[in-house]
Structure 1
Amino acid sequence: MRLTTKQIITRIGETDQLFLQGNSPELALERADLRLQLVTLSQVRQEQVHFLQEAIVLLEQSRVEFEEMPLSLYINLSLHLAKAYMIFFELTKENRYAIITQQIMKPMVNYGHGDILFFLAYAYASNKEPSLTRHWLSKYAKTKEFDLELLQQHPAFEDYRSLDWFKTILKSRMH
């Protein structure tokens, strides 16, 4: 169930109060995620930028502030951070946000999580780098996180849909 704007704002207030009592990586993730939800609901660019900036600060800080956390939580924080930067890219079309996403995700490739590979492909596609887009999509297609529908519909891959290698990736997962 998707929360309404009012419910999200209420929950932000609650989580901000919890933060004053003590922070945790889980709380930081929830606080950032709520702000990312507001970005998608807002139609005002200035609001979107504000909430994106808040989410990025929360996620960046939590990745370095807590020395020990489960790897899955660290990956989740990092994926949310990549998502925030790519939303920033979509809003501004500034390549630096896609490059930042690449810098966040590349050192994490060895964790074997498909969404890391997806964000790398997305960032390289956004920067118009077809060979690296192909490389990361090929790796992504071999993971359990592979989402055929997402790949078929995501606007970042529009320029690649007619290419043979892209069709081959899709066909490899249709069966």
Structure 2
Amino acid sequence: MRNSTQQLIQRIGETDQLFLQGNTPELALERADLRLQLVSLSELRQEQIYFLQEAIVLLEQGRVEFEEMPVTLYINLSLHLAKAYMMYFELTRDAKYALITQQILKAMTHYAHGDIFFFLAYASASKNESALCRHWLGKYSKTAEFDLELLQIHPAFNAYQTEVWFKQILKSRMH
């Protein structure tokens, strides 16, 4: 077992013990993030699905369990949840996970956070919804979170690389 995997597993044990003393939204986020990291390290599909399911439960619980939390923390919990569902989509190719991502984040667009728009574009591209993908990427391109390199290399957007509108989005941010 690699050293980083051992450290992740050790930290999961530590955070699970902290959970027994009392949960917080920050702890829920950390516990879920650790599991998402394990998904990336695992090579076994069943293991990946197991860790994704755990992360999703922790994130959903963290979003609804607490009546008050800072908006940025709620956004981070939601973005991690969207990431988990899109990782699930990548594993299964089941469009319902992209739809769930859209349902989670669509209600949050008023925050105008770039990563919300990015994940909405990613989910739309995954469902072959070209017009929605274009719409969300247009909004994403106007935010401080815009990442030109990510947009250029992300495989979800490969089908759009030759589209005029996609090239215009890239060009608008190259200067």
Matched, 1:95 2:95: yes
2:58 corresponding residue in structure 1: 58
What is the letter of the counterpart of residue 101 of structure 1? T
1:164 corresponding residue in structure 2: 164
2:19 corresponding residue in structure 1: 19
1:122 corresponding residue in structure 2: 122
How big is the shift at 1:160? 0.2
In the aligned structure 2, how far is the partner of 1:27 from the partner of 1:132? 34
Matched, 1:148 2:148: yes
Matched, 1:106 2:89: no
Partner deviation per Cα, 1:85-126 (whole Å, 9 max, x = no partner): 000000000000000000000000001100000000000000
What is the letter of the counterpart of residue 136 of structure 2? W
In the aligned structure 2, how far is the partner of 1:113 from the partner of 1:4? 31
What is the letter of the counterpart of residue 134 of structure 2? R
Alignment: residue pair count: 173
2:74 corresponding residue in structure 1: 74
In the aligned structure 1, how far is the partner of 2:58 from the partner of 2:140? 28
1:29 corresponding residue in structure 2: 29
2:49 corresponding residue in structure 1: 49
What is the letter of the counterpart of residue 6 of structure 1? Q
RMSD of the TM alignment (CA)? 0.6
In the aligned structure 1, how far is the partner of 2:40 from the partner of 2:161? 26
What is the letter of the counterpart of residue 170 of structure 1? L
In the aligned structure 1, how far is the partner of 2:136 from the partner of 2:38? 30
1:173 corresponding residue in structure 2: 173
Where in structure 1 are there 5+ consecutive unaligned residues?
none
In the aligned structure 1, how far is the partner of 2:27 from the partner of 2:4? 20
1:5 corresponding residue in structure 2: 5
Q: TM-score, length-normalised on structure 1?
A: 0.98
Where in structure 2 are there 5+ consecutive unaligned residues?
none
Q: Name the SS for the 1:4 alignment partner.
A: helix
Q: TM-score, length-normalised on structure 2?
A: 0.98
Partner deviation per Cα, 1:53-73 (whole Å, 9 max, x = no partner): 000000001100001000000
In the aligned structure 2, how far is the partner of 1:148 from the partner of 1:48? 29
2:40 corresponding residue in structure 1: 40
Question: Could you tell me the percent identity over the aligned residues?
Answer: 75
